[in-house]
Amino acid sequence: MNTPLLSPPAADISHRRHLLRWLIPILLVLLFLLTLIWLPQQAQRMESSERQEQLIADSLWVEQAIRFQLSRDDESMRLIGSEIVNGHLNKEQFRGRLNALLRNNRELYRVTWFDVHGKPVASTDDYPISRDQLSAPSQETEEHSRNIRRPLYSAPAIPPGIAEPTLMDYHIPLFRDQHYVGSLVASYSMSRVLNEMVPWWFAQDNEITLTDIDDKVVARRTAGGPGLSVYTHRRELELPGVTLRLQTNSTKSAPKLLPNLLVGSVIVLSLGLLWSLWALWRDISRRLTAEGALQHEVSFRTAMENSLVTGMRARDLEGRITYVNPAFCKMVGYNAAELVGKIPPMPYWAPEAMDEYQERFTKVLAGRVTPQFETIFQRRDGERFPVLIFESPLVDDNGRHTGWMGSILDVSDRRRVEDLNRKQEERLQAGARLASMGEIASTLAHELNQPLAAISSYTTGALNMMQSGRADPAALQPALEKIKAQAQRAGHVIRSVHQFVKKRTPERHPVLIKTIVDNISPLIELQAQPFFVVIQTVIPASLPAVLGDAVLLEQVLLNLTRNAIQAMASNVPERRILRITAALDSDTASHQSVVVSVIDQGHGIPPDVAAGLFSPFFSTKADGMGMGLNICRTTIEFHGGTLTYADNPTGGTIFRFSLPAHSSATTT
């Protein structure tokens, strides 16, 4: 039986299907190959474009950084110029002020103050230059700046007589009452401008060059090597009086095509071969891993919540409690079921602070909370306790703000510790005063014995005159007046000691330094007499008052003077001089302080002792407690001042402490 042949239309359809069966895979393979060729090239172009754009963005950032730093330097120079014009800065202060500025702004090479005749008044250099020693462009710019009365930058140039560095001078003319009185010249080292103002990470990948308008190189930084001229950018740096060009040349080469092609091909083929087997394993593994992680997370969160001592409270945007941890429940005495879902007023709010709570709740509804604040809560049994609350936004996985999370700390123990520390400090200060009295007890007895003996002698003489019948009132008057003077002297000493050792709460009132020194003068003299030390005080009557506790400041002065007297015990008699001085120090027009100095001519402070001088329980005396200077420093810092020391040029030590002057104080 013969097989019938296919009809021409059927054979044509079968042939077309066969061609399509092969044509589709071939087209897919060709598309795949074209994609493999096109993607690396496209990636190369995109990478090259991204590198160029990144270079431009970084160059703009560097330009802005240079402009910003020059602007800051300009503000500093103008401020200094204003102080010079107003007479608030002399040449002795100029160098110290500018040296501090140069330490923080290393791009500045030097700063010179010229007078109206071009002679240097002061400079940060040890050997100031004259105006004639500036470069020719700088001299021209100086004249132009003075004519137009505006600060100008000069073109970068190398000053005459030296080979390095290239300097750009910034001229600031100074005028007082429309009259030229001099100028400030800030010289920038162009190499330092690049070294200090260009970040290291940018310099590692780029060659940075500064040129003038004629493309003459004035500074270059090549920390990462010379640029390859593949990615470059040029930016004009317009400054008052001069135009510079900032050129960046990247050290990166063009992206390589072959590595991208090979890596891409390997990744695509590897993923195609492994994907079918890995997909099923991935789904199963992910499910098992997610279930295990969820179980572990739940167990961990539960254990963490149960072990926390910090109370945690979550609220939604309407102020409703959505979560509390066991620590918070224990803190307020309510369980979670009684708190979750509650809206204000809360059961743990204290009635006396209800207005404060309502005000904070209103802010919560408005979307504003105070990040940190202190308040009081009420336990279930009615006990009040202070708490410190930290509030922060509560954000879900999608970044949506859903409420507020609060951390609550019970600060009752901290408050008790603070009160205890304050009481201990007060006891320590009182003990220090008693210790000071113990050291001068014997001298005090001797000092009181003198007026008492004089009173006894004058009284005996008066009685003898009365018994002899020569009791003339005119003759008795001198003796009675001397008896009165000696009695007042003894009473003044006793009152000074009683006021000094009396236990009291520190109180700050306006008080004069001269009054403080006068109050403890008898005690200082008592300490000085056994060592034959001469006391000299230099305290102007016009000094303003300070806001402080007089007894605490008296304790500081008594401690410092006692140390100074003991330090001069081994001196020859003519060098046993203790000086107490006070002066007004005006840092600014609105800030004034009174500086008190206690100056001795003793043995000084060795370097090994200076390291622990203000440390607690550190003392060089065999019977010393080591708390005197520590208490002095704490007391001065409590009053808002500082306690320092320095070597006396004539031998010995100078202890100084400064106290802010009372703004409304007047001498009385």
Pick the residue with more confidence: 584 or 225? Answer: 584
Cβ proximity of 242 and 155 under 8 Å: yes
Indicate whether 276 belongs to any domain: yes
Domain co-membership, 81 together with 223: yes
Q: Does residue 370 carry a pLDDT above 60? A: yes
Q: What is the CATH number of the domain that holds 403?
A: 3.30.450.20
Indicate whether 535 belongs to any domain: yes
Domain co-membership, 177 together with 209: yes
Indicate whether 15 belongs to any domain: no
Which range (315-324, 454-463, 573-582, 639-648) has the least confidence? 454-463
Domain co-membership, 175 together with 279: no
Cβ partners under 8 Å of residue 92, min gap 6 = none
Three-state DSSP at 30 gives helix
Domain co-membership, 284 together with 338: no
Cβ partners under 8 Å of residue 567, min gap 6 = 600, 602, 603, 604, 652, 653
Cβ proximity of 63 and 172 under 8 Å: no
Interior CA angle at 376 toward 372 and 381, to 5°? 145
Instruction: Provide the pLDDT for residue 218.
Output: 87
How many angstroms separate the CA atoms of 494 and 487, rounded? 11
How many angstroms separate the CA atoms of 643 and 655, rounded? 7
Q: Does residue 599 carry a pLDDT above 90? A: yes
Average pLDDT over residues 200-213: 84
Instruction: Provide the pLDDT for residue 448.
Output: 58
Domain count, the chain: 5
Domain co-membership, 499 together with 513: no
Q: Which domain holds residue 391?
A: 308-410
Domain co-membership, 386 together with 527: no
- Phi and psi at residue 503, in whole multiples of 5°? -75, 130
Domain co-membership, 616 together with 523: yes
Name the helix (H) or strand (E) containing 144.
Answer: helix 136-148
Q: Does residue 608 carry a pLDDT above 50? A: yes
How many angstroms separate the CA atoms of 357 and 362, rounded? 9
- Number of residues in the chain: 668
Domain co-membership, 104 together with 240: yes
Which range (111-120, 509-518, 617-626) has the least confidence? 617-626
Domain co-membership, 106 together with 233: yes
Query: 204, 201, 212: which is closest to 247 by C-alpha?
Result: 212
- Phi and psi at residue 323, in whole multiples of 5°? -165, 140
Q: Are strands 534-538 and 577-586 parallel, antiparallel or unpaired?
A: parallel
Indicate whether 119 belongs to any domain: yes
Query: 430, 426, 432: which is closest to 617 by C-alpha?
Result: 432
Residue 87 token pair? 């007479």
Q: Are strands 108-114 and 179-189 parallel, antiparallel or unpaired?
A: antiparallel
Which pTM was predicted? 0.38
Domain boundary among 489, 505, 521: 505
Q: What is the CATH number of the domain that holds 223?
A: 3.30.450.350
Dihedral through CA 277, CA 281, CA 282, CA 287, nearest 10? 160
Q: What average pLDDT does the chain have?
A: 78
Helices assigned H by DSSP within 579-656: 607-610, 628-638
Indicate whether 60 belongs to any domain: no
- The percent of residues in the chain predicted with pLDDT above 70, rounded, is 73
Average pLDDT over residues 523-542: 86
Tokens 């140390």: give the residue: 563
**Orientation angle between helical segments 91-104 and 8-85, nearest 10 degrees:** 170
Domain co-membership, 434 together with 519: no
Domain co-membership, 348 together with 401: yes
List b or e across 626-644, with b for residues whose CB sees 16 or more CB atoms inside 10 angstroms: ebbbbbbbbbbeebebebe
Indicate whether 35 belongs to any domain: no
Indicate whether 22 belongs to any domain: no
Instruction: Give pairs for 270-274: CB < 8 Å, separation 24+.
Output: none
Indicate whether 45 belongs to any domain: no
Which DSSP letter does residue 333 get?
T
Average pLDDT over residues 314-329: 87
Cβ proximity of 571 and 584 under 8 Å: no
pLDDT tens column, 377-399: 888 888 888 888 888 888 887 88
